[in-house]
Structure 1
């Protein structure tokens, strides 16, 4: 059975890609679906030269994988990766991304969640964006919308750019990052009217029951993908 590969992007940095990806991994595991989360490119490391988001994906994945396979391209400084690549004299290699994707897709998995870095148009160099690689690989996209003031503009710009790239927007998640956001429910309803893809779920700010939220998200993903939710 072929691995179902998804690319997880967001409206901007700190919109909650890793948090939602880990919830999806937990929910898929609860549905007896073997899933792995990976982060092709990361910037910002600990003393062991490992990225915190990638470590969370590694921890919640259904298969134990070495860190280097979870996060093949990593830079020390917590800055835009293409700028870190220049400073550290280690260019971002699309060939390495291609090769690693092949390795991921040969794993004994049902789901592969590929988490981006930053927003949709993350630069790889002076001309290319990570979105160009996603389009080349024809990966379906899940968009995480960080619900806060300004998110309507950020969300719709991203949705339009995903469509312009020729990628399929499989669904989106409303992640409530601002507990004090005015008219949050109305904003979510507005986005549901505007985004031509299903809302997979709403993640509350610091949810009381992560397990239930995870299960709901995974169930929505399985339904949207045409899979049996058992």
Structure 2
């Protein structure tokens, strides 16, 4: 996916270290100290423009959140939302998801959100999918025992692949919806892509899976 380059993005990110953590590796194993209050930590891998993570932080002040986004030209939109909202329970990281282990230790995270991740449909790109087994291991290494992944997509192929990947890894499926917006699920907060795709009539798929301690 291509994004319009914003050459000023890097400078803006550096101006707000209170919102986009400049040296997240220094917080590894100590994220509780990075927030005003000690409470559960949920992260979104691929936070995009930040609508979901910002609204989640507003709705749940008793949970700390971190939005992770690789592209500087995208994360500045999430930064703008955070500057406006001034949420003490939300921070952003401008890092690569494949390096999560550098920034988080075991038991740092209680839940991982994967929302409308790039489906990487070609077989040769399977290892790039955020629900590939190597990523599932990354999440397991930073989550508490019994930690959860909450996953949403409009891509049926990715959803089917992910359910199979979750199962083969030994994760426990605790929730599934094949048409989220026509279900009785309460409290759904949409991402930018979710609104765009649902307005086009696309079905939204959602699942929740849990790591089993005795895996």
* TM-score, reference length from structure 2: 0.39
- Taking CA–CA contacts closer than 8 Å with sequence separation of 6 or more, which of the two structures ends up with the larger relative contact order? 1
